[in-house]
A = this chain, B = another copy of it.
């Protein structure tokens, strides 16, 4: 398999050197990424590039001040964008019917694919990238800073820059947990426990458990890192934002 080691050994990079990304290279990488596949070639996405230091500072609180926002050479906010396509429809006497959940899901998938293609290209060109999941938490603030018009919803933020240090492969589940042949192959509790053992045995995991006064690593995920209350709160914020942007949910 070509490029096997490149894909197996990639990892997220949160700390960047001072070296800036050349403006035309960044543009070329985004242009190449936009050739990733998308639904019906309707290209329901946009990316807003933040390079200005003051703009980064304005964005940072929406990302809970993660240092990679102000430390990156560029911050890319990938948005589901129905605005532009619907403008084209209006110019051409066509009546779009995209104000629904299905269209939102399609735009979300296509925006994610575009973002990931960008990350792969950036990594192949010696840069490091970091996804910020906070984009789907604090969409209203991000939309304000980036002056997003109606029908443009932020989905993913990627910070990008030249790495400050060498990375290394990240832990993943054994592939037999992810990959199912012909039908879904449920795993026994013993198989799941075995699959997570090397992660649980990692000294970093022991540290997380101790620091957070928990019994198990799973509890760090459920109680500390991704608690129900936070997920429910931001579910409402994001859904409200999507609906305010004209995506109507089906009636019960």
Contact = CB atoms under 8 A, between A and B. Distances in A.
Given A131-B37, A181-B49, A105 B102 contact: no
Contact of A184 (B148, B183, B226, B240): B148
A218 B250 contact: no
Contacts of A156: 109
Most central of A30, A93, A137 by chain B CB within 10 Å: A93
A178 B125 CA distance: 21
B231 A239 contact: no
Interface residues of A, number: 123
Given A27-B179, A187-B84, A115 B117 contact: no
A182 B48 contact: yes
19 contacts: A1-B32, A7-B33, A31-B175, A37-B130, A40-B133, A41-B172, A46-B178, A46-B179, A49-B179, A88-B192, A88-B193, A97-B226, A97-B229, A102-B137, A102-B231, A116-B116, A116-B117, A149-B184, A236-B251
Interface of A: 1-4, 7-10, 12, 25, 27-37, 39-43, 45-52, 55, 83-84, 87-89, 91-98, 100-103, 105-106, 108-109, 112-113, 115-117, 119-121, 124-125, 129-131, 133, 136-137, 146-149, 152, 155-156, 169-173, 175, 177-184, 186-187, 189, 192-193, 196, 215-219, 221-223, 225-229, 231-232, 234-236, 238-240, 249-251
